[in-house]
A = this chain, B = another copy of it.
Amino acid sequence: MTVDPQAGRVPEERSGGGVSRPSAITVRIVGTGLIGASIGLALSRRGFRVLLSDPSPTARALTADLGGGVVDDDTPCDVVFVAAPPDVAAAVVAEQLKRWPSAVVADVASVKQRIVDEVAASVDADHLRRYVGTHPMAGRERSGAVAARADLFEGRTWVVCPQDGTDPDSVALVQDLAHATGAAVVTMPADEHDAAVAVVSHLPQLAASAVASQLRELPDEAIVLSGGGIRDVTRIAESDPMLWTQILAGNASSVAPVLQRVVAQLNSVARSLQQLATDESAAPGSRGEVARLISDGQVGHARIPGKHGAAPATYATVIVPIPDEPGAFARLFNDVGDAGINLEDLRMEHGVGAPVGLVELSVLPAVVDRLRDVLEDKGWNVHA
């Protein structure tokens, strides 16, 4: 039995929020880049039948070789995941909706409202009911099928964006498949998704790129002073310009006003700093302007959820200097393990020119004393 989303009821294979007989469902992946190939790998591993299409013979063959499915452009399917670049995603979705008139078609682009609008403009309402926009929030520094991983989505958020009139069974099937990859499924309308990622994803990318771009002309002696702060702030500045231009252009109407607010905010601080540089006493409100930005940042930062989507957690942090030599990590984490203590998070920091690293271990406050005692017993220099 195959899933017939047109029938408007939950097929036997799917009940209790999961898919009970994956092998009965045929999934087509159109576009075997990093995301498409990773979906193929994840769903193949879970027992789904996966068919692969891609304009590049190399990409689709590689995905098949990795175990992501079989190359096949012609067999009918129950669900299609369109994993094409953002600027062509809508056209490919429309094409697939017409090609497989009983299949659910989902895309995985990072922007959603524009794609819904474009799909709606090129297919009729009956086709549109089978379209489900989604956004798996996973990625890597590397791209292409060669970087694909069956566990790319494990522990990541996968947003599903039904519109008015989207068939509920189509939505449920896509949610189940996203869940089957190990992702945490979050459901919200496309416009809310776009407004959210404009702030939590697209704005940070622009800020990171702008800060990093200022390093281009800096003397080597100045670059050497780079510490943990700028490394953190600019890590995502490594991202691919072509992909990000498509993402930002695709969400321009949500990103533009957010970026304009930040420009106004920073411009006001720049003016205050200019006044302070010229004549400190002549600018009574200037310090207040600077303080307000830093203070507002503290308030906003405190809202970011902690691990696993819980409320922002206040973990206790223990800092342990470790020698820069093989086995040092192993000894440290072995000793943490002996204490039976769960690490909530960890960070590693390096300075310039020193043969020592600092490892920051975050644990629940209740166990920090025991962790310190255990590590000190084992000879570590612990700072809690």
Q: Is the Cβ of B332 less than 8 Å from the Cβ of A225? A: no
Q: Is the Cβ of B212 less than 8 Å from the Cβ of A301? A: yes
**B residues near A155, Cβ cutoff 8 Å:** 321, 349-358
Q: Is the Cβ of A255 less than 8 Å from the Cβ of B273? A: yes
**B residues near A74, Cβ cutoff 8 Å:** none
Tell me how far the C-beta of A74 lies from the nearest C-beta in chain B, rounded to whole angstroms.
Answer: 32
In the complex, whether A294 has a CB less than 8 A from a CB of chain B is yes
Q: Which of B188, B233, B252, B319 interacts with A276 by CB under 8 Å?
A: B252
Q: Looking at the complex, which of A4-12, A21-29, A240-248 is the stretch in contact with chain B?
A: A240-248
For chain A, what secondary structure do more than half of its interface residues adopt (helix, strand, loop), or is it mixed?
Answer: helix
A203 to B298 Cα, complex, angstroms: 16
In the complex, whether A269 has a CB less than 8 A from a CB of chain B is yes
Q: Which of B199, B214, B248, B317 interacts with A261 by CB under 8 Å?
A: B214
**Known contacts A230-B201, A300-B212, A381-B151, A337 near B327 by CB under 8 Å:** yes
Q: Is the Cβ of B199 less than 8 Å from the Cβ of A151? A: no
Tell me how far the C-beta of A155 lies from the nearest C-beta in chain B, rounded to whole angstroms.
Answer: 3
Q: Is the Cβ of A233 less than 8 Å from the Cβ of B230? A: no
**Known contacts A273-B259, A330-B334, A300 near B216 by CB under 8 Å:** yes
In the complex, whether A164 has a CB less than 8 A from a CB of chain B is no
A345 to B341 Cα, complex, angstroms: 22
Residues of A130-163 whose CB lies within 8 A of B: 137, 141, 149, 151, 154-157, 159
In the complex, whether A121 has a CB less than 8 A from a CB of chain B is no
Residues of A332-364 whose CB lies within 8 A of B: 332-338, 340-343, 345-358
**B residues near A348, Cβ cutoff 8 Å:** 345-347
Q: Is the Cβ of A351 less than 8 Å from the Cβ of B154? A: yes
Interface size on A, residues (CB 8 A): 141
A350 to B303 Cα, complex, angstroms: 16
Q: Can you report 21 residue pairs joining A to B where beta carbons are below 8 Å apart?
A: A137-B227, A149-B383, A157-B227, A184-B351, A192-B221, A200-B229, A209-B297, A210-B262, A212-B297, A215-B304, A216-B300, A230-B304, A233-B233, A242-B291, A245-B290, A256-B273, A260-B274, A263-B270, A308-B355, A330-B337, A333-B333
The 4 lowest CB-CB distance pairs between A and B, nearest first, are A330-B337, A209-B297, A155-B351, A196-B222
User: Which residues of A are at the interface with B, using a C-beta cutoff of 8 A?
Assistant: 137, 141, 149, 151, 154-157, 159, 182-184, 186, 188, 192-193, 195-197, 199-201, 203-216, 218-219, 221-227, 229-242, 244-245, 248-249, 252-253, 255-256, 258-263, 265-267, 269-270, 273-274, 276-277, 280, 286-287, 290-291, 293-305, 307-309, 317, 319, 321, 324-338, 340-343, 345-358, 381, 383
